[in-house]
Amino acid sequence: MNDIAKELNLQFSEEHNHFVLPNFRKLYAKFNFESGGLIYGLVKTPEFNKFHPKKKFIPEISSKLKIQFSTSHCWLLWKFLYKNIEIEDHLWLDIQNSQLKIAIKLFLQDILNLPSGLTTDL
Name the band, by pLDDT with cuts 50, 70 and 90, for residue 120. Answer: confident
| Euclidean distance between CA atoms 75 and 55, whole angstroms | 8
pTM: 0.92
| Dihedral of alpha carbons 35, 57, 90, 6, sign | negative
pLDDT recorded at residue 55:
87
**To the nearest whole number, what is the mean pLDDT of the chain?**
95
Domain ranges of the chain: 2-119
| Euclidean distance between CA atoms 18 and 16, whole angstroms | 6
- Segment 91-100 mean pLDDT: 96
Q: What is the pLDDT of residues 41-80, one digit of tens each?
A: 999 999 999 998 888 889 999 999 999 999 998 999 999 9
pLDDT recorded at residue 98:
97
